[in-house]
Amino acid sequence: MTPQDALAQLTALGEPEKAAEMAAYHKVERPYLGVANPQIDALYKDWRKATDVPQRIEIASFLWDSNIHEARIAAAKLLTQARIKPDQAVWDEICRWVPMFDAWAIADHACGAGARRLFLDDARLDTVESWTRDENLWVRRAAMVITLPWTKSTHPKPAELAQRERILGWAGGYVNDPEWFIQKSVSWWLRSLSKHDPDRVRQFLDDHGAAMKSFARKDAARLL
């Protein structure tokens, strides 16, 4: 299995009419093939069986650099895996992608892959914190999306709770950001946390809710 083989298999599934619909929906100028997510899932699962981790990184890197929408989605899916040891090369590859984020769908899939690596090595939060100051709104947004695992514990250990508070500090710094996608990333994070720690979300909204856009404040409190 070579990177070129992977791209050829993906390209062969393309449907031009569907590709045009996807381009209109995502509104980002890049090539679209018209391949559905279930088709991508079937491909990457076969690729994973046929390759080791270094080969997967090579394939993912090649697919990402093609700039094709479905290829970037496939690259992220290929590297989305709970257990990878060692995983530094995978983390480095995902971090290489981050400055190129320019659309929510691709960024969310990439953050899904990165979240697995981040939660298992929280020292990497130092890298993510640097994203919060980036000029690219998609990079700033990624800091919230990739840290969503910290919203999912009802009884976090002290270290995890400290990390959660650190990320909430980033969220507090975002509430004055006028970008819709930044506001939405904060409300998404808070809404997810509200399932496990509603009192902390109420406290955040008491402290910062007045500065948030109305839609974001309502979305954050929707499950309270």
Q: What is the pLDDT of residues 24-70, one digit of tens each?
A: 999 999 999 999 999 999 999 999 999 999 999 999 999 999 999 99
In angstroms, the CA 141 to CA 106 distance is 13
DSSP 82-103: S--SS-HHHHHHHHHHGGG--S
1-120 is classed CATH 1.25.40.10 = no
User: Which tens digits make up the pLDDT trace of 149-193?
Assistant: 999 999 999 999 999 999 999 999 999 999 999 999 999 999 999
Domain ranges of the chain: 1-120, 121-224
Strand ranges (E), 6-45 = none
Q: Which two tokens stand for residue 145?
A: 């999306």
In angstroms, the CA 64 to CA 62 distance is 5
Helix (H) or strand (E) holding 140, with range, is helix 137-145
In angstroms, the CA 168 to CA 111 distance is 18
pTM tops 0.75: yes
Question: In CATH, what is the architecture of 121-224?
Answer: Alpha Horseshoe (1.25)
